Amino acid sequence: MADNDNGAGLGAVLLSFLAGAAVGAGAALLLAPKTGEELRGKIKNLAEDAVDKIKEYTSEAQEKIKSTIEEGKGVLSEKKSILNSAIEAGKEAIEREKERLKGA
């Protein structure tokens, strides 16, 4: 479970880093001496790149979540099977003990 917490923290850090980089790059573009058309083009490209990166990280996060859910379902199914076996064994033991006590 600790790995999942680190993964979520890492994703938040990466997203924060990208957002900071985008803001910094935008500020640099705004402060650099460029023509209006060049500046608008660079800002547009920067925004498109940022959107693409965010979509990519979102997709990766969704896949990680789906994978974790599937692993959890597998573990839950395994534990449920073990628990059901233990319950059945307990029921059988109770029945054997009842029969033994009736015969005594």
- Mean pLDDT for 3-23 is 68
Half-sphere exposure of 84 (CA within 13 A, CB side): 6
Please choose, from the candidates 68, 99, 20, the residue with its C-alpha nearest in 3D space to the C-alpha of residue 91: 99
* More confident: 61 or 34: 61
The pLDDT of residue 104 is 67
The pLDDT of residue 89 is 94
Confidence of residue 83 (pLDDT cuts 50, 70, 90): very high
The pLDDT of residue 101 is 87
Give per-residue pLDDT as tens, 14-43. 777 777 877 777 777 667 776 778 878 888
Please choose, from the candidates 45, 56, 61, the residue with its C-alpha nearest in 3D space to the C-alpha of residue 11: 61
- pLDDT(8) > 90: no
Confidence of residue 7 (pLDDT cuts 50, 70, 90): low
| Domain boundaries, given as residue ranges, for the chain | 2-103
